[in-house]
Amino acid sequence: MANSSPKSNTGDINADIVIVGAGLFGGLMAWYLRTHLPNKSVVLIDSGPVVDRVEAVKRFKESPEKGGNSAYKTVPWAPIPPEDDPAAYYDQKDHDSKNPLEQIGFGALYMRTVGGTSWHFTGHAERMYPNDFRMQSAYGRGLDWPISYKTLEPYFAQVEEAWGVAGNNSCVAPTPHPYPLPVVPLTYLDHQVNKAAEALNDSLGPLPHCRNSVPYDGRPQCCGNASCRFICPVGAKYDGSVHVEKAQGLGAVLYANSVVEKINVGADKKVASLQFKNYTDPAHPVTGTATAKLFILAAHAIEIPRLLLMSKGKNTPKGVANSSDQVGRNLMSMVGINSSGYVPEPVYPFRGPVNATGVFRELRDGAFRKDYASIGTIVINGGFNPTNGPLNEADDAVDDNLFGTELRARVFNKTASQVYLDNSVEMLPNSENRITLSDEIEGETGLPRPKIDIRIDDYTLDGTYVSWKRTQDILVQMKAIFNGVPIATPTRAAFDDLVAKQGVQAGAAMIAGTTRMGTDPKTSVVNEWCQSHDHDNLFIAGTGCYVTAGSVSPSLTAAAIGLRASEYIATNFKKITG
């Protein structure tokens, strides 16, 4: 069963508000605006299809890879970076560079479907830390945001209510505060890692999750399907489709499979319309124009700048919202080198919510950020490979010529003793890290692919070393082995050798900064309300607005910023649109 019914193939669209991107932020904003502006029509346009959860689970089971995107239908008119080869979509020179100060492989992933990337996000619903918003003032690094943690606090709470965030005051979070749902407990594995962490003067705590610890908002309680990084088969994990459907229930209209190709700006500097192509009938796509009084772009921090840059015209010679030349710049992700090993006693990964329930308490924020980057280290509940890990152990055991009960025991012991620690390290804004338009044209749509240019600095590289040292130290403490030998005590020299061999990659979880927020129209793209400095009826939502990124999961903060922008739009709609 489809979980929402988009409008079928159509030509032109007219509405009071048009939102491009029916994902985590677009859906939430559509729901808010239909709730608070019930007399204003709202249209959501998304390049991808509606996800059918039943079909997605079937597709996941049939996929040999069982990766992040495996459950989802990729349509040719909305291409995405493949998980196993992101450079098949991203045009990135030297993406396999071994010198991270010159270039890092950009492996950040996203999806183009109704509900967006949240279909396979971790479900970690963390608030950014107060100092993440004032990096320059606090640590002399990066920039300060035009808004503070305090400004966002009520919106954080609203998002937590809307999503159903589970937590308590034992959670690793910047401030104690009430959560709508009880905490998601740590796993047995987390507790075993915590023993090692405590011996090293660190500790683990639970993450806040947007997965139901009790039934909430018509969605069931989590029963530990061990697949939520890929797809939650029961909808216990929140995803963006929830509020897309709520918005539809309030009268918002969804156009799926519709690729916006250009934004048209009038001589009055207002956005006048969007050109799009509807692929509901892929053999006969229909070109249309969407007109509205107000437009919101909520299509992720790669596709939004791509669209803005594609929209050069008489009134926008550098692209839309780009008089500052900041569109696409300051691309941020998180980097990290992870640690893995087999410990002597079973710790039983692959149970409960995979990805992670536990996070290290230290090195999220503190005076160390004057010297090196913030670090998020989580314990992956899914071992070395959350879906095929046990299968790979079986293959390895058979390759070692084991059969019968000895084989069975080997598969059990190796699988049960896997420990995998994942590091995410903050990047600071750098105007040379950017997405531009590639000369290479994407096949089906004839539109340019995104071109990526990104590297880290010593601040992030030093943070990467500290994070790797911490996780290697934990494995040493746990007496772990890998490739048949004990994990060695980590040194900077060993780290440098490792980097020289494998480089550093940007991970999957964060894409930010490419339409950043600021008070100065010369150095930023949007103001504190996510409103374009150049076009007052254009708002840009999502992580692209981030000024700095920190090391927490990015979605909750972006949603809070989106709700705050929605409130501003609802309050000032008449003033903005004349």
Q: Give the footprint of other proteins on residues 1-30 (CB under 8 A).
A: none
Amino acid of residue 113: T
Q: Is 198 in the site for other proteins (CB under 8 A)?
A: no
Question: In angstroms, what is the minimal distance from the CB of 121 to other proteins?
Answer: 16
Question: In angstroms, what is the minimal distance from the CB of 50 to other proteins?
Answer: 19
Q: Indicate which single residue of 146, 262, 291, 412 sits in contact with other proteins (rule: CB under 8 A).
A: 412
Question: In angstroms, what is the minimal distance from the CB of 166 to other proteins?
Answer: 10
Map residues 514-543 to x or -, x wherever contact with other proteins holds by CB under 8 A.
------------------------------
Q: Which is nearer to other proteins, 233 or 507 (CB)?
A: 233
DSSP bridge partners of 77: none
Residue 559 to residues 44, 108, 481, 545, 556, Cα–Cα distance (Å): 17, 19, 41, 11, 5
Q: Is 103 in the site for other proteins (CB under 8 A)?
A: no
Q: Is 310 in the site for other proteins (CB under 8 A)?
A: no
Q: Is 188 in the site for other proteins (CB under 8 A)?
A: yes
Amino acid of residue 108: A
Q: Which is nearer to other proteins, 221 or 491 (CB)?
A: 221
Q: Is 448 in the site for other proteins (CB under 8 A)?
A: no
Sign of CA dihedral 316, 318, 319, 324: negative
Q: Indicate which single residue of 257, 445, 543, 553 sits in contact with other proteins (rule: CB under 8 A).
A: 445
Q: Which is nearer to other proteins, 391 or 481 (CB)?
A: 391
Q: Which of residues 368-387 bind other proteins (CB under 8 A)?
A: 381, 386-387
Q: Which is nearer to other proteins, 350 or 529 (CB)?
A: 350
**Two tokens, residue 319:** 């692209």
Within 207-347, strands assigned E span: 253-255, 258-265, 271-278, 286-297, 339-342
- Report the SS3 class of residue 395: helix
Residue in this structure with the two tokens 């840009």, named with its chain if needed: 540
Q: Which of residues 112-141 bind other proteins (CB under 8 A)?
A: none
Q: Which of residues 219-238 bind other proteins (CB under 8 A)?
A: 221-227, 230-231, 233-234
Q: Indicate which single residue of 27, 285, 390, 513 sits in contact with other proteins (rule: CB under 8 A).
A: 390
Q: Is 170 in the site for other proteins (CB under 8 A)?
A: no
Residue closest to 276 by CA, chosen among 94, 108, 77: 77
- Report the SS3 class of residue 28: helix
- Going by the DSSP 8-state scheme, the letter that residue 186 receives in this structure is P
- Alpha-carbon distance of 576 to 535, in angstroms, equals 10
**Two tokens, residue 234:** 């029961």
Question: In angstroms, what is the minimal distance from the CB of 409 to other proteins?
Answer: 8
Q: Indicate which single residue of 88, 199, 200, 500 sits in contact with other proteins (rule: CB under 8 A).
A: 88
Q: Which is nearer to other proteins, 211 or 564 (CB)?
A: 211
- b/e map of 542-577 (b: 16 or more CB within 10 Å)? bbbbbbbbbbbbbbbbbbbbbbbbbbbbeeebeebb
Q: By CB under 8 A, which span of 299-307, 399-407, 419-427, 530-538 interacts with other proteins?
A: 399-407
Using DSSP bridges, classify how beta strands 485-486 and 481-482 pair: parallel, antiparallel or unpaired.
antiparallel
Question: In angstroms, what is the minimal distance from the CB of 273 to other proteins?
Answer: 26
Name the strand (E) or helix (H) holding 380: strand 375-380
Name the strand (E) or helix (H) holding 106: strand 105-106
Q: Which is nearer to other proteins, 389 or 544 (CB)?
A: 389
Q: Indicate which single residue of 85, 432, 497, 520 sits in contact with other proteins (rule: CB under 8 A).
A: 85
Q: Is 281 in the site for other proteins (CB under 8 A)?
A: no
Amino acid of residue 568: Y
Q: Which of residues 202-221 bind other proteins (CB under 8 A)?
A: 213-214, 221
Q: Indicate which single residue of 9, 36, 157, 185 sits in contact with other proteins (rule: CB under 8 A).
A: 185
Question: In angstroms, what is the minimal distance from the CB of 525 to other proteins?
Answer: 29
Question: In angstroms, what is the minimal distance from the CB of 256 to other proteins?
Answer: 17
Question: In angstroms, what is the minimal distance from the CB of 231 to other proteins?
Answer: 7
Q: Indicate which single residue of 16, 269, 280, 346 sits in contact with other proteins (rule: CB under 8 A).
A: 346
In this structure, the chain runs to a length of 578
Q: Is 72 in the site for other proteins (CB under 8 A)?
A: no
Instruction: Please report how the helices 188-199 and 458-477 are oriented relative to each other, as an axis angle in degrees rounded to 10.
Output: 100
Q: Is 160 in the site for other proteins (CB under 8 A)?
A: no
Question: In angstroms, what is the minimal distance from the CB of 394 to other proteins?
Answer: 4
Contacts of the segment 260-264: beta carbons below 8 A, 24+ positions apart: 260/20, 260/45, 260/47, 260/290, 260/299, 260/307, 261/307, 261/310, 261/445, 261/447, 262/307, 262/310, 262/311, 262/313, 263/295, 263/307, 263/308, 263/311, 263/316, 263/320, 263/538, 264/311, 264/313
Q: Degrees (nearest 5) of the Cα angle 255, 257, 262?
A: 85
Q: Is 345 in the site for other proteins (CB under 8 A)?
A: no
Question: In angstroms, what is the minimal distance from the CB of 265 to other proteins?
Answer: 29
Using DSSP bridges, classify how beta strands 253-255 and 42-45 pair: parallel, antiparallel or unpaired.
parallel
Residue closest to 168 by CA, chosen among 183, 190, 180: 183
Residue closest to 550 by CA, chosen among 388, 363, 410, 381: 363
Q: Which of residues 251-270 bind other proteins (CB under 8 A)?
A: none
Q: By CB under 8 A, which span of 169-177, 291-299, 389-397, 561-569 interacts with other proteins?
A: 389-397
Q: By CB under 8 A, which span of 76-84, 243-251, 288-296, 317-325 interacts with other proteins?
A: 76-84
Question: In angstroms, what is the minimal distance from the CB of 393 to other proteins?
Answer: 8
Number of chain positions touching other proteins (CB under 8 A) = 73
**Two tokens, residue 553:** 């999961």
Question: In angstroms, what is the minimal distance from the CB of 461 to other proteins?
Answer: 28
Q: Beta-carbon neighbour count of residue 451 at 10 Å?
A: 18
Name the strand (E) or helix (H) holding 566: helix 555-577
Q: Which of residues 415-444 bind other proteins (CB under 8 A)?
A: 415-416, 442-444
Q: Is 62 in the site for other proteins (CB under 8 A)?
A: yes
